[in-house]
Chains A and B, each alone.
Chain A
Amino acid sequence: SQKIEQNSEALNIQEGKTATLTCNYTNYSPAYLQWYRQDPGRGPVFLLLIRENEKEKRKERLKVTFDTTLKQSLFHITASQPADSATYLCALEDGGFKTIFGAGTRLFVKA
């Protein structure tokens, strides 16, 4: 069956450290993958998109990798800040013009 899996346990890190979140998928062959941020009581906000032929994408303190062999994407936040605390969702295009979201990983950054 098709699945997207993100760490269900919350990730707690100290301010200034690098946060790394994982997104694994099975039985999909996405042309691209997206990461969104969701704060409590708000809708998700788009952060980054990475295509299948791109290994890595960066935007300010954010970095995303995409390994189509491992069927995995890693999302990194460097020099993390308490304001980075949120839930991070990965989403992939399922080949049929539909976007499938993972359940998200909650990140807590302690000052």
Chain B
Amino acid sequence: EAGVAQSPRYKIIEKRQSVAFWCNPISGHATLYWYQQILGQGPKLLIQFQNNGVVDDSQLPKDRFSAERLKGVDSTLKIQPAKLEDSAVYLCASSLSPGAPSTDTQYFGPGTRLTVL
């Protein structure tokens, strides 16, 4: 079974530039998550999709971050404009569906390490 794919793996940009990350979840997984993980911290949920609808985006800085999941499969996360504090690893994960122990196990991609200079 193919895992969660993410690209790029690394990205270095100047502050105020824009950047986009791509995620392809495991086939058949309805739920897709984007997390931000700052060095030394646990993953922080930015946005959660169920199929192509947003379930939770309460911690997404909407003035600069946006995300979409077209056709309920692939997803992109964009930052525009980037700030120094956005330097982190951006993880994408997928699961069958949330809220139930039998289906809530999340499978993570390798992440994208973003450095904002």
Which residue of the partner chain B has the closest CB to A31? B101
Residue B110 at the A interface, CB < 8 A? yes
Instruction: State which of B93, B104, B113 has its C-beta within 8 Å of the C-beta of A93.
Output: B104
A97 CA to B91 CA in the complex, in Å? Answer: 18
Of the four ranges (under 10, 10 to 19, 20 to 34, 35 or more), the interface on chain B belongs to: 20 to 34
A97 CA to B35 CA in the complex, in Å? Answer: 15
- With an 8 Å Cβ cutoff, the count of chain A residues facing the other chain is 24
Residue B61 at the A interface, CB < 8 A? no
* Residues in chain B within 8 A of chain A (CB atoms): 4, 33, 35, 40-45, 48, 55-56, 91, 93, 98-99, 101, 104-111, 113
A-B contact sample (19 more), CB < 8 A, given A46-B106, A98-B45: A32-B101, A42-B111, A43-B93, A43-B108, A44-B91, A46-B107, A49-B101, A49-B105, A51-B101, A91-B42, A96-B56, A97-B48, A97-B56, A98-B48, A99-B33, A100-B45, A101-B43, A101-B44, A103-B40
